[in-house]
Amino acid sequence: MMRIEIICTGDEVLTGKIVNTNFSYISQKLEDVGLSVRWETTVGDDRESLLRALRLAGERADAVIVNGGLGPTVDDLSQEVAAQAAGVELVLNDEWLTRMEEFFRRRSRLMPPNNRKQAMLPATAEVIDNPIGTACGFALDIGQARFFFTPGVPRELHRMLEEQIIPRLLAKSGMQTAIVLKRFHSYGLGESHVDALLRGVEELVPDGSVKLGFRAHYPQLETKLTVRGTDTEDTRRKLAPVEREVRKRLGNFILSEDDATLEGVVLAGLASRQGSLSIVETFTSGAIAARLAHLPGADKVFCRAVVARALGEVYAAVGLEGASATGELTRETAEAVARAARRQTHATHALAVLIDLDEGADRIDLGGTICLAIATEHEVASRRSRILGGREWVRLGAVEMGLDCLRRYLQNLPVYERIDFEKA
C-alpha cells in the first residue's frame, strides 16, 4: 500500500480561522480511487516549519500532496522551500511566465510584477498545468517521496487533483488505472440502514474489484461504488449488475445519481411538464426557494416564494385571511395553504412546508412538527412528520423532505414512506 501524506499550509488554516475543506476534498477523492492518506500535517506561513515538514514527509511517505503557498505574495513560500528541501536552485520557467502574461492579457490587464514569482520553480520540477489560474502546480522528488504541490484555491486544486495528480498516483502505485465511481444520493435512510440493505452487493463481482462506501452529510447519504478494471469497458461490465442491485434495494429513496442534485431533478421534472412552481415555507429561512431559484432554467419554472414564521402571515400572503391561525398544525392546514398559493400565482404546482417548532432552548431532543402539501389544479398530496435533533436538524430535514416529496410526486412515487429520521 502506497504511503501518502497531505501537507496543508497557511496561518489561517493552522489557527482555524478558515475550515480546511481542501484537506477533506483531497482525502475523499483519494479514497474514491482506493488510495488512503496515512499522515496529515498543517503548517503556518513560516519557512522553517514548512522545511521540516517537507523533509520529514520525504523520509516516511511515498507520495506527498502539498496544498497552498503558490501565490504571488511574500508569505507564499512553497516554491522556495521545496527547492531548498530538494537541494536544487529556484529558476524561472519561461513557458509558465508566458502563460501567465497571456492569462492577464486575455482579461485586458497588465500582469503585476509580483506574479513573476509564480513562474519561479525548483530546477528539477515537473510542471503540473493549471488551466484556470496563475499558480502552476509542480512535482519533484524530495528524499524518497514524490511531492505534488498544488494551489490553495479550491476550484484550481480540484481540476489539478482529478485530471493530473490522481492518475500519476495510480500509475506510481501500480494499481489499475481504469476506475469508475458511481454515486447514489438518498434521503430518508441512515448509513447503518443502507449498509445493512446493501450487504453482499460487492460479492456480485467475485474478483473483489468493486468497493462499497458511504459519505453521510445529513440530511443526505451518498452511497459510492468504486470499480476497477483493465479498461473502461471492463469496469462498466463489472459495475452493471451491482448498480442494478443497488437501485433495486434502495428503491424510491434514491433521489439522484452521480452529479445530479435533488433540486436539479425537481426542476427538470417540472420543466419536462412545462410546469411552474410556487413555494410557501416557514422556519426554513427560504432555503427551499434558494435551492431552486438560482438554477439555470428556473426563470421558466419558479413563480413565487412566501417565507414567513407566523402562520397568520402565511395566510395573509396567500389570501386566506379568514382562516384561523391558532391551534395545532395539521396536514389539512398545509393543504389549504398549498391550494391557495397555487390559485394565487396560477402555478401548475405549489409546495407548502410548514413547521411548528418546539419551545425552549436548542437541545438534542428539541423537535419540530412538519406538515407539507403539494397542490395541483386537480389534487393535493400531503404528509405529516416529526423530527428531533435540535433547531438546525429540524430545519435541514424539513427542507430536504419538502423537496424530496415534490420529487416523488413528479415521479409518480408515494409521497409518504417512513424515514429513519422521524419520530413516530
Residue 132, all three cell numbers = 484556470
Query: Percentage of residues in the chain with pLDDT exceeding 70?
Result: 99
pLDDT at 16: 79
Q: How confident is the model at residue 322 (pLDDT cuts 50, 70, 90)?
A: confident
pLDDT at residue number 323? 74
pLDDT tens digits for 234-257? 999 999 999 999 999 999 999 999
Rounded CA separation 47/117 (Å): 16
Average pLDDT of span 363-369: 94
Mean predicted confidence (pLDDT) in 43-57: 94
What is the mean pLDDT of the segment spanning 342-350? 97
Q: What is the pLDDT of residue 171?
A: 85
Percent of the chain predicted with pLDDT > 90: 83
Q: What is the pLDDT of residue 230?
A: 83
What pLDDT score does 228 carry? 85
Give me the residue label for grid cell 382562516: 323
Q: How far apart are CA 381 and CA 57, in angstroms?
A: 59
Query: CA dihedral defined by 73, 74, 75, 78, rounded to 10 degrees?
Result: 80
- With CA atoms as reference, report the closest residue to 420 among 200, 248, 218: 218
pLDDT tens track for 278-309: 999 999 999 999 999 999 999 999 999 999 98
Q: State the pLDDT at residue 177.
A: 64
For 122-178, the pLDDT digits (tens) are: 999 999 999 999 999 999 999 999 999 999 999 999 999 999 999 899 888 877 567
| Sequence-ordered list of residues with C-beta below 8 angstroms from that of 150, at least 6 positions apart, any chain | 65, 66, 67, 68, 70, 128, 137, 156, 157, 160, 161, 165
User: Between the CA atoms of 270, 275, 276 and 277, what dihedral angle is there, to the nearest 10 degrees?
Assistant: -50
Q: Say which residue, 40 or 178, is predicted with more confidence.
A: 40
Q: What is the pLDDT of residue 424?
A: 64
Neighbours of 419 (CB within 10 A): 19
The whole-number pLDDT of residue 361 equals 95
Top-confidence range, 22-31, 222-231, 387-396: 387-396
Q: Which residue has the higher pLDDT, 424 or 266?
A: 266
Q: What is the mean pLDDT of residues 354-360?
A: 95
pLDDT (average), residues 248-270? 97
Q: What was the pLDDT predicted at 179?
A: 81
Residue 126 to residue 335: CA distance in whole angstroms: 63
Rounded to whole angstroms, the Cα distance separating 404 from 366 reads 23
pLDDT at 232: 84
**pLDDT number for residue 229:** 85
User: Which pLDDT tens digit goes with each residue over 74-121?
Assistant: 899 999 999 999 999 999 999 999 999 999 999 999 999 999 999 999
Compute the mean pLDDT over every residue in the chain, rounded to the nearest whole number: 93
pLDDT band for position 321 (50/70/90)? confident
The pLDDT value given to residue 13: 83
- Nearest CA among 106, 95, 14, 24 for reference residue 65: 24
Whether the pLDDT of residue 326 is over 70: the answer is yes
Check the CA dihedral 327-328-332-333 and report its sign.
positive
pLDDT digits (tens, 9 = 90+) for 178-188: 788 899 999 99
Identify the bridge partners of residue 225 per DSSP, sorted by sequence position.
Answer: 182, 212
pLDDT score for 176: 58
Decide if 130 contacts 156 (C-beta within 8 A): yes
What does the pLDDT average to over 38-67?
Answer: 94
pLDDT in tens, 204-218: 999 988 999 998 999
In this structure, are strands 277-282 and 302-308 parallel, antiparallel, or unpaired?
A: parallel
